[in-house]
Amino acid sequence: MKLTNYFTNLCSQEINMPSNLHALIRYKTIDSCLRNKFSPCTILQLQRACSEALEEAYGKGRLISERTIRDDIRVMRSELLGFEAPIECENGVYFYADPGYSIFHASIMELRVVEKLVKLLLENARHLDQEKLALLLLEISGFKNLPGSVRQIIEQYILQQPTFDDRAEEPCFGMDIMETQPEMSWGTGKPGKSSTLLVLSQESGADAFMIKGHSRGMEKAIVMITWKAILDLLPIK
């Protein structure tokens, strides 16, 4: 497949975002189980663990179906949400091939996923930590190329929060400027040319990067949020 066709197909793919927080809670729970080296994870054990987590979050629960858990594993293995989790199975037991892996370390760099996550979080805001959510959304609102409609929704939410005081108007996020390595140059067309990497924010796992290629003066913003920033908002430990 030609590279141009690959990117065309990639951009046309539909991002299958969860319609509520249940799936995110299950992903977080499955991740926790797979990282536990002392408890083998079968499908049934994952069903029970996810059911208990949802009961903890909402006060009621039922046994999650086997099909749902298998679908969750499929999503976690895929690129849909940026996880690409190295989940393997031997004799009915699931585990991470890389013992150090966690979806908490995975990054969200697809703008469409960010947009849908913002809407999902706002629709379920009453179940989340309001202060953490407001801080995260404030950072996301500063991302270049974020649709104006999404930014407006974020701003309306933040202004309605009684706990979000005047300190938010002060510069509260770190800013660092560094030179990238030659192989990380952006659009220079020449090896050995470096690019300026401006890290706009580093709180709550949300980062915005501005990269400028010296030779062409081109500029492009990259959105990156770690899944930890999202999963830490969920109403479970």
**Cβ atoms < 10 Å from Cβ of 188:** 16
Q: Please state the φ and ψ torsions of residue 124, each to the nearest 5 degrees.
A: -115, 25
Q: Is 220 helix (H, G, I), strand (E, B) or coil?
A: strand
Dist CA 58 CA 128 (whole Å): 12
Strands (E), the chain: 87-90, 93-96, 107-108, 176-179, 195-199, 206-213, 219-226
Domain boundaries of the chain, sorted by first residue: 3-104, 108-170, 176-223
- 192: CB partners within 8 A, 6+ apart: 182, 185
Which of 1.10.10, 1.25.40, 1.10.600, 1.10.1470 is the CATH number of 3-104?
A: 1.10.10
> In the 8-state DSSP scheme, what is residue 123?
H
**pLDDT single digits (tens) 144-191:** 788 888 888 998 888 887 654 444 444 333 323 233 333 333 333 333
Question: Which parts of the chain register pLDDT below 50?
Answer: 1-15, 164-204, 207-222
Q: What is the pLDDT of residue 163?
A: 52
Per-residue pLDDT reduced to its tens digit, 193-203: 333 233 333 34
Can you give the pLDDT at residue 94?
98
pLDDT at residue 16, as a whole number: 60
**Mean pLDDT score across all residues of the chain:** 74
